[in-house]
Structure 1
Amino acid sequence: MSKHGTIRRYTLEIEKIRRGQFPSFQEIKNYLFDHGFEIGDRTIQRDIEQIRFEFGIEITYSKNKNGYFIDYENSINIESFFRFLEIVNTAELLTESLKESKDALKHISFDTGGGLKGIENLKPLLKAIKDSRKISFNHFNFHTNKTRKYSLKPYLLKEYQNRWYVVGLIGNLREFRTFGIDRIEDLEVKPETFKVDHKLNPIDMFEKTIGLVYSYNTLQNVILSFTPTQGKYIKTLPLHTS
C-alpha cells in the first residue's frame, strides 16, 4: 500500500479512537472496513505501534473501559500530529480529485498564494534540526529592505497562516529569532553541530502566543466577546489552542 494509504489508515484509526469513547479493537476494525480498508488484526496492531514509534502518539488500552484511548499526557506534540494528518489527507483528496478530472481545479478556490516559496528548504531545515547542525543563509528583512547573512542554531519549524518559519538561536544569545523561509536564500547546512539547550523550548514559547511575535512579559488573561453566531465560527476554528 502507498504511503498515502497508510497515512489515511492512521487518520481513520485516530479519528475513531478520539471520537469513539474507548472503542474496542473490533469497533476500530469495523470502522476501517466501512471506509474501504479490509485489513487483519496484525495490521492494526502494527499501526498502533508505528504511530507511537514514528510520531510519539501513545494509544493505550483501558481494561476498565474495555477500549482504546489516546494518552495525551505521554504523547509528544499531539496537536502538530493532528495538523500533519489534516495537511496530508487534504493533499491526498485533492490529488485523487485531479486524477478523476482535469477540470477539478476550476471548482477549487485557494487562499492567497506565496505559501510555497522557499518550500524546498523545509527538508534540509528539518534534517538540520533533527541532527542539531548549524545552518547559514541570506535573509531579506521587510523592515529594513536589506538582505543579511545569518548563522543559526535551528530548533523548530513553525507554520503560521500558510507560511513556514525556522526558529533558532544566533551565537550565544538565549532569545529565539524567527525567519520566514520564503525569504531565505543560499541555505547551507553546516557539518558543525551544536548542543541543544533543553531549558529553552520554542514550542512552549509559542503556546502562549498568537502569531510569531512573543514576549517574556507576565502573561495576562484576555476575555473575548462574540455574538452567538460568531462564537460558532470561533469554536470550529479557534484563534489559539488555549
Structure 2
Amino acid sequence: MEKRLFTMPVGKFPFMRYKVINECLTNKRKPYPSIKDIQQALADYDIHVEKRAIEGDMETMRYDKRLGYFSPIQYSHKHRGYYYTDPDYTLDKLPLSSEEIEAFEVIVESFKRFRGAEILKQVEGMFDKLDKVIMQQLKTKRSRVSYPVVDFEKVPYSKGVEHFDKLYQAIIKQQPLHILYKKFDNDKVSEHIFHPYLLKEYKFRWYLLGYSEKRRGKLILALDRIESISNVKMAFKPYKGNDVQKYFDHTIGITINNTGVKEIRLWFSPLQGNYIKTQHLHATQKIVSDTDEGIVVTLQLIPNYELLQMLLSFGAQVKVLEPESLRNELKEMLKENLELYR
C-alpha cells in the first residue's frame, strides 16, 4: 500500500478502517490475516489502533444493523487468522441503502449546478459514475417516483467560466498574470499585471480578487470581461492581510469601497419580516425589535451598489433607518426609478 503523508484521526472515519479490514480479509495472496497483519495494514495509512479497537470494528461489521454489513467474519484457530466464511463476500459489492441513495441523489443534483470549469472535469467523472449507480439502484429500490424530487436553481450561461481553470491554477501556484480587461461601459481594453488571490462567485457570476500593479492595490475583475490571460515571469506578491477568505465578510456582493463597515439599521413590514427572520440577509444580521408593526434588524456591512439593489427588491416592505447616507442614496434611486414612469 502507498504510504500516506498525513495521520488519520482514529476516532473519525471509521469507514476507512472497515475498508482496510475488508481489504485484508479479501486479499487472496495473504489469507487469514492476524490482528497484527491488520494493524500493519492500517499503519500503512497512518491509522494506529490497539488490538481491542480492531476487534471492536470487526464486531461492528458483523452485527451493527445501522451499517447493514453483516460481514461473515470468523477466526480460524487452524490458520491463526480471520476470514470471511462466504468467500465471495466483500464490502465493495454491498448495495446502497435507500437512505444512502437519497443522500447521493441530492449531492449529485447539487453538483450539476457547477459544471463547466476544466478544474472540475475529473470530479465530474466521479459524479457521473455515482449518477449511473444511483439510477441503477433506484430501479430496484424505488419505482414510485421517476424524477428528481429536489429542484435546484438552474445555472444560466455565464461568460468567463472558461478562464476558471487557468485562474485557479495561477492562485494555487502563485503565478502572476498579464490580463487584458474590457469594461462593459468602455470599449478600451486595459492591461493589468495581476497577482491573483481568490475566486469569488456572486449570483452565478465569477470574480477574481488580486493585486494590480497598474492600480498599485487590490482590484476585483469580472471573469466575463477578461479578454485574455497569460503568465508573467516575476515574483509573486502575496496577499497582505490576516485571511483573504474574510475579505468579503462584510459585503453583499463584490463591491468594496472606502466607507468602511457601517451598522445598517432596517425596518421590515410584518409580512416581509417573517421571511427575514427565517432566512437572514447576511451573517451579521441581528433582530433589534419584533412587534406587530414590523421588525428592525441591524447588519454590519460596507454600503455598496449590491446592497442598494437588494433593498430596492423589497419595494415598500423595507425602510432604511440608518445610516443617513444610505437613506439618501436609496431615495435618489427611487426618484430616478419613478421618473421612468412619468
How many equivalent pairs are there?
Answer: 165
Task: Give the Cα–Cα distance (whole angstroms) in 1 for the partners of residues 269 and 190 of structure 2.
Answer: 46
Which residue of structure 1 aligns with residue 212 of structure 2?
Answer: 170
By how many angstroms is 1:114 displaced?
3.1
- Name the CA shift for 1:148/1:200 in 2 (closer, same or farther; >3 Å): farther
2:265 aligned partner: 223
The 5 A counterparts of 1:189-228 are: 189-199=231-241, 202-228=244-270
- Sort the Cα spacing of 1:92 and 1:160 in 2 relative to 1 into closer, same or farther, 3 A: closer
1:89 Cα shift? 5.8
User: Who wins on radius of gyration, i.e. which is larger?
Assistant: 2
Secondary structure at the counterpart of residue 166 of structure 1: strand
Shift of 1:104: 6.5
Indicate how the Cα distance of structure 1 residues 199 and 159 shifts in structure 2: closer, same or farther if over 3 A, else same: same
Judged with a 3 Å threshold, the aligned counterparts in structure 2 of structure 1 residues 92 and 119 are, in CA distance, closer, same or farther, namely closer
Match of 2:156 in 1: 113
* Inter-CA distance 218–122: structure 2 relative to 1 (3 Å threshold): closer
Distance 2:108 2:216 in 1: 34
SS of corresponding position for 1:224 = strand
User: After TM superposition, where is structure 1 displaced by more than 6 Å over at least 4 residues in a row?
Assistant: none
| 1:62-77 paired onto structure 2 within 5 Å | none
1:125 and 2:167 correspond? yes
Deviation of residue 196 (structure 1)? Answer: 0.7
1:154 corresponds in structure 2 to 196
Deviation at 1:239, TM superposition (A): 2.7
3-state secondary structure, aligned to 2:272: helix
Residue 139 of structure 1 pairs with residue 159 of structure 2 = no
Structure 1 residues 174 and 201, CA, compared in 2 at 3 Å: closer, same or farther?
farther
Q: Percent identity?
A: 26
Distance 1:170 1:150, change over 3 A: same
- SS, match of residue 176 in structure 2: strand
Structure 2 unaligned regions, length at least 5: 1-10, 20-41, 46-105, 114-126, 136-145, 285-342
**Higher mean C-alpha deviation, range 190-199 or range 131-140:** 190-199
One-letter amino acid of the counterpart of residue 179, structure 1: L
1:90 aligned partner: 110
Contact 1:176–1:202 under 8 Å retained in 2? no
Cα 1:112/1:156, change in 2 over 3 Å: closer
CA-CA distance at 1:169 after TM superposition: 1.1
Query: How far off its partner does 1:172 sit?
Result: 7.1
| CA RMSD, 1 decimal | 4.0
1:209-241 CA distances to partner (integer Å, 9 max, x unpaired)? 111211232422112233454344335543322
Q: Does the CA contact (< 8 Å) of 2:156 and 2:204 recur in 1?
A: no
- Amino acid of the structure 2 residue aligned with 1:154: P
- Bigger relative contact order, structure 1 or 2, given CA contacts below 8 A and separation 6+? 1
Aligned amino acid, residue 186 of structure 1: S
Q: Contact 1:124/1:189 (CA < 8 Å) preserved in 2?
A: no
Q: Is the 8 A contact 2:193 2:214 kept in 1?
A: no
Rounded Cα–Cα distance in structure 2 between residues aligned with 1:146 and 1:172: 15
For 2:147 and 2:233, the matched residues in 1 are separated by 45
SS at match of 2:251: coil
**3-state SS in 2 of match to 1:152:** strand
- Contact persistence 2:171–2:197 (CA under 8 A): yes
Q: Over residues 23-64 of structure 1, what are the superposed CA-to-partner deviations in whole Å (9 max), with x where a residue is unaligned?
A: xx79x97xxxxxxxxx46456xx9xx9xxxxxxxxxxxxxxx
Structure 1: state its 5+ residue gaps: 1-24, 30-38, 50-85
Gap change, CA 1:40 and 1:177, over 3 Å in 2: closer
**In the alignment, structure 1 residue 238 sits paired with structure 2 residue 258:** no
Tell whether the 8 Å contact from 2:195 to 2:237 is kept in structure 1 after alignment.
no
Cα distance between partner residues in 2 of 1:108 and 1:136: 40
TM-score, scaled relative to structure 2: 0.39
State the shift of 1:166 in Å. Answer: 0.7
Amino acid in the other structure paired with 1:121: H
State the TM-score, normalizing by the size of structure 1: 0.53
1:230 is paired with a residue whose SS is helix
Question: Following the alignment from structure 2 to structure 1, what is the Cα–Cα distance between the partners of residues 176 and 200?
Answer: 18
